[in-house]
Amino acid sequence: MSFPSLLPIAALPFPEIDPVIVQIGPLAIHWYGLAYVVGIVFAWWYAKRLVSNPRLWPDGKLPMKPQDIDDFVVWAAVGVVLGGRIGYVLFYDFARYLANPGDIFAVWQGGMSFHGGILGTTIAMLLFARSRGIHPWSLFDVVAAGVPVGLGLGRLANFINSELWGRVSDMPWAVVFPTGGSLPRHPSQLYEGLLEGVVLFLVLRLLTHSRLKLGTPRFVSGAFICGYGLSRIFVEFFREPDAQIGYLAGNWLTMGMVLSVPMVLIGIWAMTTARPLARSAQA
């Protein structure tokens, strides 16, 4: 029996979950949209807890008020959505949107770039920190610490939507996706959700609460940026590249890898050059 004929036998059935949670007339609530909302709300709640806990900061001096986080959440939402959408349009499917510019606004159809989203959020954080007199890196740190939860939920939504699936695989947990042809594929969305969501959140939690790295501005955000980049590069070896782009070189280099390498380098720079706040200066 040939190897390809064994692949469907080893595959797991795809769970038939409707991408639309509920629809009332023309209004539809999608899992993808819910993931964004829950991710933003969690990051807001978690950041407020971090800036309300004196134990996590040198000499117990808090760098900002919880009310500042309340005000920033709107800025963050705008930065994530605009940056994520613009990044996807420019990096992944520019020709299509150039031909059909109206589709740019159809965000319910999917198509968001994390790299664009983080750039948009970074701009929002810089502008907000400057307007409030907050140390920018401290704002980056408290926001970054809660972001992985939203990333994990977003990848779970990708799985439910049967999108961004992996390469053909004979692993026993491979899945036949409704939109991915008849052969089983790596559930790379779940790999990415586990690494970017669960593992990265726990690593950052260790840094903030056990190692007290919030007292070393930009170390936590550097760990987040580097951790995401490494996770994304690893998962790209199992993920099917976007059809409109394909492989950039050989049968392995993808756009996701190219965009993630600078993140790893920036994250390493941020962590290695971060310096603890002097306690005497906090008295």
In whole angstroms, give the CA distance from residue 189 to residue 31.
14
Rounded CA gap, 202 and 233, in Å? 19
Q: Residue 278 burial (CB < 10 Å; 0-12/13-18/19+)? A: exposed
Q: Which helix (H) or strand (E) holds 22?
A: strand 20-24
264 token code pair:
């790893």
- 248 in Cβ contact with 27 (< 8 Å): no
In angstroms, the CA 87 to CA 219 distance is 26
Q: Which residues contact 18 (CB under 8 A, 6 or more apart)?
A: none
Tokens of 85: 């959408």
Going from the C-alpha of 116 to that of each of 3, 120, 121, 158, 271, the distances in angstroms are 40, 6, 9, 17, 22
If we measure between CA atoms, which residue out of 118, 239, 119, 237 comes closest to residue 177? 239
- According to DSSP, residue 171 is labeled S
The verdict on whether residue 211 carries a ligand-binding annotation is no
What size, in residues, is the chain? 283
**C-alpha–C-alpha distance, residues 80 and 94, integer Å:** 19
Contact by Cβ (8 Å): 177, 189: no
Q: What is the DSSP letter of 249?
A: B
How far is it, in rounded angstroms, from Cα 112 to Cα 155?
A: 11
Residue positions in the annotated binding site?
Answer: 155
